[in-house]
Chains A and B, each alone.
Chain A
Amino acid sequence: MSPQAKKEQNKILILATETCAYPGADSVGQAHSTYPANTYILRVRAPVLFPESFYIDCFKKGISGIIVMSCGEECPYEGAYKALAKRLDSVYKKMKKMEIDIKRLRLTAICTVCNRAFLNEVKQMDQLIREIGPPQLMV
């Protein structure tokens, strides 16, 4: 194994829409603001792609927090935002049943220049998972 640095235990997965939130994250980069490095941004077309199991599996695999950064009501896919909100509602129900803190999953809207909102979301999630640690789940 190469001199890989210490393994980051608390990982945050960010699902960022390619039309709004992903360029929003780039805009934070252009401003050279810093934020915790335990964040992994995946570019998605519409987060409605992910089934309930995807979120639960992520927690099982050891992801500590997930932020879904959508376009909100400005979603280019007619009806997708509503379907997404509904989906996350059922994910929350499942999480409660499995005793996963529901604060580990957040849905938010981030625009292409919403730098502060982006930083805020990341900061809050990071603080939370530093307090409560990775989810302890049976795989």
Chain B
Amino acid sequence: MIPTDIFNFDTLVVGGGIAGLQTALDLGDQGYKVAVVEKDASIGGKMIRLSKVFPTLDCASCITTPKMSAVAHHENITLFTYCELNSLDYDGSGEFQGMKALITQKPRYVDPVKCIGCRQCEYVCPVHIPDMEQGGLSATKAISIPFSNAIPQLPIMDIENCMLCGQCEKACPTNAIDYLQKPEEFLIASKTAVVTTGFDLLPVKDNTQYGNGKIPNVIDSLQMERLLAPHGPYNRVLRPSDGMEPDSIAYVQCAGSRDKSMGVSYCSRVCCMYAIKQAMLLSGSLPLADITIYYMDIRAFGKGYEQFYQNAKAMGIEFIKAKVARIDRGENGSAQVRYELQDGSGTATANHDLVVLSMGMVPGWNPEQPVCPVSKDTDQFITSIKPKISPVLTDMDGLFVAGAAAGPKDIVDTITESGSAAMEAAKFMSKSLMEN
């Protein structure tokens, strides 16, 4: 069945992380009409979930929220959150020639027009579920707004866990709860599209050497971001298994990067810097803790990054050049780290109260045929056909890529690349305007 709702835009931006937001703003500011389609319930991507960001150490939320709200209030930008992209392709058949995207609005079980974001539903809901927005480290309700500064401020009902008790429906002052909401399909037609679907971390559960996620107190770096965030799960840094304040914390770098057998063969590019950042933040909140970073090479290559690294060394954070071969369950909730010494003199072990895995980064979206015919490189990220003169160009005319969707990247590089993608999209549209 072909959906009847068709929305027309100049540009479709797929993914509402910092790359998508910046691209949308740079196009919207030039007068282009932009649609942002985001699969999550809120825009903001990984960045809104971070604690503080290197190298300036400013609060991630304070840098992201202004961009999020600028997008939300922009007269030329329309947000489609909690939406699944089913296909994206060039369509030259009808009278409209350009990109066509088939999209499904997933049901929130809440009427977005009626809802005023007051959270009464959330307060009365009796069902507690793990809060994935807090790395699964604390609980939330089966109906809830995903996090405090989410945009839009609309709750989502977890229908799998809901027991249909009806309390939220009773509490809602605007009758916005709708248990019968259905997924809805619609089409977006646009002249250009920008893919900003970002990255995911390799799941720890697939990594046997590091215990498949079954060793307590071995967490991934995004979970550590939540522990360090001002509005994190425990409001301070505690070890998840028993709530103890850790005295010894270790970072395992290149966990699943730069080694095909462990995950991916390429460098994930941001892990050195965020590990150093997290270590610095930890030594602020736990001044007595020992912090060790096991690394192969420290890649502090950006503006101000090397100085940041040298500061961390001066603060007493220990850097050990070694590859961690395996992690085992230690005593009293600790984890035992076995590592190969870099000078070739053998292996050593150490026990740590908390171990953070700097997991490798993989693409956030996998454009398989026939969903979208854009090419992927051997690293599985979208291919850049002109990596030198314009890394945002892909092998599909009118389709551009920016941010971590075009390979792992930090925020600074993501933001400039997004501006560049907006520029290419704008040029493409003004060119076709001139040709017509």
Contacts and interface: CB of A to CB of B under 8 A. Distances in A.
Q: Do chains A and B touch in the complex (CB under 8 A)?
A: yes
Given A114-B230, A115-B231, A74 B58 contact: yes
A115 B65 CA distance: 16
B231 A19 contact: no
Nearest to A20: B62
A114 B58 CA distance: 12
Interface in A1-40: 19-20, 23, 27, 30-31
A122 to B, nearest CB: 16
B235 interface: yes
Contacts of B149: 23, 27, 30, 112-113
Contacts of B148: 27, 30-31, 113
B66 interface: yes
Interface residues of A, number: 15
A72 B331 CA distance: 44
Contacts of B65: 23, 112
Contact of B231 (A23, A27, A71, A74): A27
A123 B4 CA distance: 57
Interface string B53-65: 0000011011001
B235 A116 contact: yes
B120 to A, nearest CB: 12
Contacts, number: 40
B59 to A, nearest CB: 4
A111 interface: yes
A113 B66 contact: no
Contact of B62 (A31, A112, A117): A112
Nearest to B235: A116
Contacts of A116: 230, 235
A113 B58 contact: no
B229 interface: yes
A112 B149 CA distance: 9
B59 A19 contact: no
A19 B62 CA distance: 8
A114 B61 CA distance: 10
Contacts of A27: 148-149, 231
Contacts of B229: 113
Contacts of B62: 19-20, 71, 74, 111-113
B63 to A, nearest CB: 9
Contacts of A114: 59, 230
A31 B231 contact: yes
A111 B66 contact: no
B278 to A, nearest CB: 17
Contacts of A74: 58, 62
Contacts of A19: 62, 66
A125 B65 CA distance: 28
Contacts of A20: 62
Contacts of A23: 65, 149
B397 to A, nearest CB: 39
A31 B58 CA distance: 22
A116 B285 CA distance: 13
B216 to A, nearest CB: 27
B171 to A, nearest CB: 15
Contacts of A111: 58-59, 61-62, 230
B235 A113 contact: no
A53 to B, nearest CB: 31
A45 B229 CA distance: 26
B32 to A, nearest CB: 26
A113 B226 CA distance: 13
Given A23-B65, A30-B148, A74-B62, 13 more contacts: A27-B149, A31-B231, A111-B58, A111-B62, A111-B230, A112-B149, A113-B59, A113-B61, A113-B62, A114-B59, A115-B230, A115-B231, A117-B230
Interface of A: 19-20, 23, 27, 30-31, 71, 74, 111-117
Interface of B: 58-59, 61-62, 65-66, 148-149, 229-231, 235
29 contacts: A19-B62, A23-B65, A23-B149, A27-B148, A27-B231, A30-B148, A30-B149, A31-B231, A74-B58, A111-B58, A111-B59, A111-B61, A111-B62, A112-B59, A112-B61, A112-B62, A112-B149, A113-B59, A113-B61, A113-B62, A113-B148, A113-B229, A113-B230, A114-B59, A115-B230, A115-B231, A116-B230, A116-B235, A117-B230
